Structure 1
Amino acid sequence: MDSSLVLALIAVALPVLLHLLTRVKKPRRPAAGKLPPGSLGLPVIGQSLDLLRAMRANTAERWIQDRIHRYGPVSKLSLFGAPTVLLTGPAANKFIFFSSALALQQPRSVQRILGDKSILELMGADHKRIRGALAEFLKPDMLKLYVGKIDGEVRRHLDECWAGRRSVTVMPLMKRLTFDIISLLLFGLQRSPLQDELAGDFAQVMDGIWAVPVNLPFTAFSRSLRASARARRLIAGILRETRAKLERGEASRSSDLIACLLSLTDDSGARLLSEDEIVDNSMVALVAGHDTSSILMTFMVRHLANDPDTLAAMVQEHEEIAKNKGDGEALDWEDLAKLKYTWRVALETLRVVPPIFGNFRRAIQDIEFDGYLIPKGWQVFWAASVTHMDAGIFHEPAKFDPSRFENQSAAAAPPCSFVAFGGGPRFCVGMEFARIETLVTMHYLVRRFRWKLCSKNDTFARDPMPSPLHGLPIELEQKASP
């Protein structure tokens, strides 16, 4: 085994073991019923290190398939100190997304860093209330107002960070672009020292958000907690300034997310959200609004470098839009509605490389699926690749084929098969925002530049999000002005 991989695994394993040894509990004795086949593995460790190693080596999909071949579509194992049931297939996904007996299970590190009043932690009426508030900011009438702002941010970013350079590293640039966009729309922040400070804090937040929650000075989790505290103070200050602007008539509900959430009231006229809820959900929106979108666009750039036919079709679609625009005129909502092929390319990229490998739920009562008992308190784990790469659902799944998503009315696959945006009551509320961000960015990218990959070793790892080798360095060539 490569020595760097060994060191990486040790770095992950030691804090995992230290943490779990202090917290692991004997599994609750289940009620009468047939448990799924499989093994919980070694005490404390279970199969956690095997899965982490597979994710780092980008063989996690094979690891999941090996379990399916050995035990079938339902099996038991132990992940991160908890007994777990792996459920696979469209019917299993539907069960996971829609069952009221399953609660979202986030790693403890996420709750500690992002707060316990976020949409990720709440259930029932509170979850519905918070989701409705965020959806108010992301409804089509509001999104139409943001296209011009996003357009301006994308053009500024490309002028400052791409134009005139012979090479760039794509992933860190995409992360900064999407962070600048989301911080503008959430808080009204223009490029400034304050925005740079928030970006720096959030880089540290992301480094520790999936870490083992051991709060020791040398750990990524500890650094992330401190960065989160700084970011929360900054957001609370923005909240107070925005409230004052609203009271003076200098801001409106459509100004940004903070203004929108502060303006929402219930039937009695009381504020719908508390300050703590606004801060916590602003933190979540910052993470969700820039991390997965930057991964999607990075992997689109990666794929297009070696797929000239798909790239040519995209360029043609974007040039058709540009022909009807004046010099310097921003894209609008109607333009984006015409970029159907580009969005199909994005969806196919998400199918092949889903940013979220899988996720957990927790059984809040004894529950049965496919004849097997899932005891109360056990985790339920699902993985996107199981259906995304199923030849019975997507013909020739290893082939990149955007035409799979031509017939949107038929959803291009059985329900709960394409799960890049999740499903059920927790279906990604920001999908339309991600679509706008992606389409605007790709419009200017494919029209202004050509590129090729610097590395012949076109690989990526998951930690836990997919990350291409060395951040995807590319050689860049600027096209002549049209």
Structure 2
Amino acid sequence: MIGQSLGLLRAMRANTAEKWLEQRIKKYGPISKLSLFGKPAVFIYGQAANKFVFTSDSSTLSNQQTQSLRTILGEQNLLELSGEDHKRVRGALVSFLKPESLKQYVGKMDEEVKKHLEMHWQGKQQVKVLPLMKTLTFNIICSLLFGVEQGARKDKFVACFQEMVEGMWSIPINLPFTRYNRSLRARTRVQNMVKDLIREKRLELEQKGASTHQDLITCMLSIHNENNEQVITEKEIVDNVILVMVAGHDTSSVLITFIMRLLANEPTIYAAVLQEQEEIAKSKPSGEFLTWEDLAKMKYTWRVAMETLRMHPPVFGGFRKALKDIEYGGYLIPKGWQNHQSLIQGRFENQASVPPYCFIAFGGGPRICPGYEFARIETLVTIHYLITHLTWKLCADNSFSRDPMPVPTQGLPIQLVPKKTF
């Protein structure tokens, strides 16, 4: 049952996972059989493998996560759905997360970022970046996606959520002393809180006191077919709200943390990002929120973000389930199985120069991350205010491990020097 799971988890936590993969590829080649998290699996690696996975139709490969991840996120989350169900639920999520809809939320995100920086950064001489970025991204998710503002309810949400995510990549042994068991119990509490939110949002809609796009839950509740039947079930809403919480909280907080780490280590890149952001700040009256048009001018900053994602991807790998016998690279995968270290500033300046299926930080094909634009807005707004209001330098050891995402071992402590108030 355990197979290679412990070896991979140990390597990730020691920040030697890439070496673990390289040794495996050297020994067995880019295609090999192994057992991970309680299931037999086939490991495939490289550009050709990425293309194969992202271009295979749903009758060949389905998206299936590990048992622990699937149980905690819920079996109706988007990662587990296929065919018409995937198309229907993804369509509901995208209706809220598409650029045309998100344009109206840039000001609200700007407000949340400034509120957070005033509360947790202003006047401080030293902070730990990762815990604060987790607080910020969770606040943004609660406010923009679920309509839950800061207070006792949000604090309870945070505590249960943090306990839930701790066991998502654990070995699925459901005994009282395991991380997996604690995570499952926390998942039940999170689920109940989301159900309470759904009942409240449904009542607001019935009383015509809510805009259909005021938050993600309301949006999903408001989608009906030609027979006026609700398109998305309550179970699908619950599971996908939990998915969005996990994806929007962990990946964005890690990305922003590692951008700050990179900027502290690379003065030339820091200067170029600062110049771009100061030009935007100077063009705006004091106190005015950033706009969609301002974000479109942050081209260099977003290229830095993509290079950060390439070097430190939040998600180390992905899982698929073979729905029929597949021949790949001269091997049979049976049905039911399942100079890159260099920092280059201009790597993403010309998107056409990046080989297909080599940069897959947001996935690819019909399963490309629907929250891409949300993550872009969140990252750019945060970096804008950090770099135009503060300078920083790393305090101590800035090494990191994976659990499973890249995590600075000490939370990335930095020393702050204010330039102006938020």
So what's the TM-score if we normalise by structure 2?
Answer: 0.96
**Cα gap change, 1:74/1:425 in structure 2, threshold over 3 Å: closer, same or farther?**
same
Letter in structure 1 aligned against 2:77: S
Higher Cα Rg: structure 1 or 2? 1
Which residues of structure 1 form unaligned runs of 5+? 1-19, 21-44, 380-390, 392-396
Letter in structure 1 aligned against 2:275: Q
Q: 2:401 aligns with which of 458, 461, 466?
A: 461
**SS of match in other structure, 1:402:** coil
Q: Is the 8 A contact 1:169 1:474 kept in 2?
A: yes
Deviations 1:438-476 (A, max 9, x none): 000000000111111111x33111111110111111111
**SS of match in other structure, 1:476:** strand
Matched residue, 2:365: 424
**Cα gap change, 1:215/1:75 in structure 2, threshold over 3 Å: closer, same or farther?**
closer
C-alpha RMSD of matched pairs (Å): 1.5
CA displacement at 1:398 relative to structure 2: 2.2
Deviations 1:372-410 (A, max 9, x none): 11111222xxxxxxxxxxx3xxxxx322223110113x1
**SS of match in other structure, 1:148:** helix
**SS of match in other structure, 1:190:** coil
Matched residue, 2:385: 444
Letter in structure 2 aligned against 1:403: G
Q: 2:126 aligns with which of 167, 187, 207?
A: 167
C-alpha distance in 2 between matches for 1:118 and 1:361: 15
C-alpha distance in 1 between matches for 2:80 and 2:337: 17
Matches within 5 A, 1:147-296: 147-296=106-255
**Cα gap change, 1:318/1:405 in structure 2, threshold over 3 Å: closer, same or farther?**
same
Aligned length: 420
Deviations 1:242-287 (A, max 9, x none): 1121222221111000111011112322111111111111111111
In the alignment, is residue 398 of structure 1 matched against residue 341 of structure 2?
yes
C-alpha distance in 2 between matches for 1:226 and 1:82: 23
C-alpha distance in 1 between matches for 2:4 and 2:187: 31
**Cα gap change, 1:321/1:110 in structure 2, threshold over 3 Å: closer, same or farther?**
same
Letter in structure 1 aligned against 2:184: L
CA displacement at 1:200 relative to structure 2: 1.0
In the alignment, is residue 86 of structure 1 matched against residue 27 of structure 2?
no
**SS of match in other structure, 2:321:** strand
Q: Is the 8 A contact 2:68 2:169 kept in 1?
A: yes
Q: 1:303 aligns with which of 246, 252, 262?
A: 262
In the alignment, is residue 329 of structure 1 matched against residue 270 of structure 2?
no
**SS of match in other structure, 1:377:** coil
Q: Give the stretch that moved more between structures: 457-466 or 152-161.
A: 457-466
Q: Is the 8 A contact 1:170 1:472 kept in 2?
A: yes
C-alpha distance in 1 between matches for 2:52 and 2:146: 37
| Runs of 4+ that moved beyond 4 A | none
Letter in structure 2 aligned against 1:353: H
CA displacement at 1:481 relative to structure 2: 5.3
In the alignment, is residue 57 of structure 1 matched against residue 14 of structure 2?
yes
Matches within 5 A, 1:63-102: 63-100=20-57, 101-102=60-61
Percent identity among equivalent residues? 57
C-alpha distance in 2 between matches for 1:327 and 1:177: 23
Q: Is the 8 A contact 2:13 2:401 kept in 1?
A: yes
C-alpha distance in 2 between matches for 1:248 and 1:60: 53
Q: Is the 8 A contact 2:38 2:67 kept in 1?
A: no
